Amino acid sequence: MSKVTVPVEACSICGARGWATCPTCQGTTYVIMLSGRPFRPAASFEPDAVRCPTCHAYGAVVCPECNGSGKLYQGHEYGSGRNRLLRPYGG
């Protein structure tokens, strides 16, 4: 029985961690809202700071490039939006 293995490479967007710092709050977990949209990252003690709606005050999001797998197909085009969850050892 031979197993087909898909060549993979580590995702360089998240450093193969599977998650990335929240792009909205930059990891501060709080933001200043302007006209109903996140305007800039903020510290929790700032008077108008609200919990980041993107990461729900978690400070990180699942990596949009590798969907949290930390791995990408070799030759993956970054930012192409054609990334898929990889399970290189599955099957």
CB of 48 to Zn ion, least distance (A): 16
Can you read off the two tokens belonging to residue 34?
């302007």
Q: Which residues bind Zn ion (CB under 5 A)?
A: 11, 13-14, 22, 24-25, 52, 54-55, 63, 65-66
- Nearest distance, CB of residue 76 and Zn ion, angstroms: 10
Identify which of residues 9 and 54 has a Cβ nearer to Zn ion in the complex. 54
Q: Which residues does 15 contact at the CB level (< 8 Å), separation at least 6?
A: none
Query: 8 or 52: whose CB is closer to Zn ion?
Result: 52
Q: How far apart are CA 17 and CA 10, in angstroms?
A: 9
3-state secondary structure of 9: strand
